[in-house]
Structure 1
């Protein structure tokens, strides 16, 4: 089982690397393709669009496939997208291939989360899911810094070529190590589609969008924030980003344990901690030491929340586990796009680099409110009481004489 989880985590590592490494390579991409840095930034949006489109689309297409075959298919599309991006001659083609690369993102994590849960022993489902997600968090510690360095030394195309190779290795590992996992009995396409109409699932997805948008309002602009307010150099900013990855890793492990112990309270607690961390971050960012601690805490709170809500969604949509799980990643990328926009809006309005954290804290509080509303609606309802019936008399009433009671007449 460990090798199976490792193979799926390697695929997650490749996906996490290609998603975030582009942020550090925009100057190289813009120079090579002769576009502005702001235009090159559309490659980030293109990937997010691919995730949002592909999460439900590829999951629906694969509903009749065994888990292992679906995982191999998704990783194959991912590897091809990265290779084509590396070989594309002009910006428009690269943008199109970035959309292609993003298509299997959510579907892969959805299928991998369900496969990891199927492989788990009783009481360890959330921990298995968290171990697969470790690949995504480790990517932010190792993959993104290493990919950025490689792209700066050998060109951004080399980075995407290496990521494509990682995808091929992950495909081989999944084929060799993940056992045959048939689609759970009774799961049908109509069930998967109906799962998204589940009130608890809808509220959970909205919680992700609003709760995590605050994180990306801060993280998208973390480099200028660290330089302007905390006083870090460019090399120091690279280290700070690695610290965020460390926090993500710790948060993923913590979230898995929390969800296995008490799922609903963990949803409330993780979102509340996220709001608190974002609020404190706006004060901590003025000192390099407290800013570094704040970045780690932000990573912990973010991925503890994401892991807990991932398990919550899978639990509330038992007959639609894959599509619901994949939709969680689509919601996460919507949070990415919305958070980046609102963070840029408040900075552009002249409110400063602490404003995104304050706005993010408010958005996380809205997420807490949604989670509490979902908990209220999910409360067991007491059965309706039957109409009151008068108490039976303690003694039988007297029968009038001559009434014929008990007679055959």
Structure 2
């Protein structure tokens, strides 16, 4: 792997750890700030809201900026957001800090993923995305459990300090090794935005948002699911997060290969299996051994669907892939924001914590419906005359 790619992968690792580590320290944050678990879950919503708003807005506003200074600036804002999280004196300031940290993430992912896809060999786009996403997988398998361990032993504030320090170190590598690149576009903002009217792109973004919301809901509340429902001790949670992350790495590369062979059939099949696994996770929630095994399976399937979804978006976007990927990332975070709220409602006003995997399975079925629609459109387009291809 070239050092420049490795540097960007490390940034993805830091950004992913900063986003998902809250799942491991959620009870500690809630106890220290004297708020409920559902209120602490809103920290995920705040981060997601930053990505939802910042993704398309920042990507459009910076479309004609030189790539290397832009990347450096985005990383610097993330560092400041994590430092603010570590120093936050109350729940409100922590919410604002998580929002700031999330503002720049979608644009960074958009630039990285669109660049990789544009330079990948024909037929290897999805597996190339999987290589970029390795940093995300490592953030789950290493960053999240390490951050959880740090938070349990040094306090949750130390977790955010560690994320900020790592991201700052990665920034130094980016400045040293990533070559200067021209702007992604020299066209008008209106021209960039026009791509969002494409129906195929709209459906691809909807697939990302709806297809991920179920499994994200489960992951946000994975720590109380493992301890309060599964019966595991708190000190076992980092190990189980490693298991989840190991599944994520396996699923990421397997999903990329499957998507390279048959994009929409692979995505539809993976979503169907994910819905089934979440249902079994709900049924066996109180049994330790099945829960540990299913934690691996959920991690694998959650990340197996990502390369294909990203490839579908970039393929549909055509001339504006960076904006499309940024909006798609916003769609994913819209799912995360909704998931954080939904999980709280299920716990407080619904059937309770144990029902979250079942809700995740039902939501995944909705994503499967969109995948089936796209698959049907693809097959119709392949057999229809050129003048009757769906717009």
Structure 1 pair 342/186, CA: closer, same or farther in 2 (3 Å)? same
Matched residue, 1:256 = 256
Q: Does 1:120 find its partner at 2:120?
A: yes
Matched residue, 2:109 = 109
Q: Distance in 1 between matches of 2:63 and 2:185?
A: 12
In structure 2, list runs of 5 or more residues that go unmatched: none
Q: Does 1:163 find its partner at 2:166?
A: no
Q: Distance in 2 between matches of 1:31 and 1:276?
A: 34
Q: Does 1:368 find its partner at 2:371?
A: no
For residues 32-64 of structure 1, give each alpha carbon's deviation from its aligned partner in whole angstroms, at most 9, with x where no partner exists: 556565544433322121111111111111111
Matched residue, 2:195 = 195
The answer to whether the 8 A contact 1:85-1:94 is kept is yes
Alpha-carbon deviation of 1:339?
2.5
Structure 1 pair 252/119, CA: closer, same or farther in 2 (3 Å)? same
Alpha-carbon deviation of 1:297?
0.9
Greater Cα offset, 132-141 or 310-319: 132-141
The answer to whether the 8 A contact 1:192-1:322 is kept is no
Q: Distance in 2 between matches of 1:158 and 1:224?
A: 21
Q: Distance in 2 between matches of 1:216 and 1:186?
A: 36
**Of Structure 1 and Structure 2, which has the larger fraction of its residues in helix?**
2
Matched residue, 2:240 = 240
User: Over the residues paired in the alignment, what is the CA RMSD in angstroms?
Assistant: 2.6
The answer to whether the 8 A contact 1:115-1:181 is kept is no
Q: In the alignment, which of 382, 387, 392 is matched to residue 385 of structure 2?
A: 382
For residues 120-161 of structure 1, give each alpha carbon's deviation from its aligned partner in whole angstroms, at most 9, with x where no partner exists: 344433222212211112112211222222233333332222
Structure 1 pair 248/362, CA: closer, same or farther in 2 (3 Å)? same
Higher Rg: 1
Alpha-carbon deviation of 1:107?
1.1
Structure 1 pair 301/320, CA: closer, same or farther in 2 (3 Å)? same
Structure 1 pair 186/269, CA: closer, same or farther in 2 (3 Å)? farther
Alpha-carbon deviation of 1:100?
0.8
Matched residue, 2:148 = 148
Superposition TM-score, scaled by structure 2 size: 0.89
Matched residue, 1:397 = none
Q: Distance in 2 between matches of 1:254 and 1:372?
A: 21
In structure 1, list runs of 5 or more residues that go unmatched: 386-409
Q: Distance in 1 between matches of 2:27 and 2:268?
A: 40
Matched residue, 2:68 = 68
Alpha-carbon deviation of 1:296?
0.9
Alpha-carbon deviation of 1:79?
1.2
Q: Does 1:300 find its partner at 2:303?
A: no
Alpha-carbon deviation of 1:312?
0.8
User: What's the secondary structure of 2:180's corresponding residue?
Assistant: coil
Superposition TM-score, scaled by structure 1 size: 0.85
Greater Cα offset, 121-130 or 95-104: 121-130
Equivalent pairs, count? 385
User: What's the secondary structure of 1:63's corresponding residue?
Assistant: coil
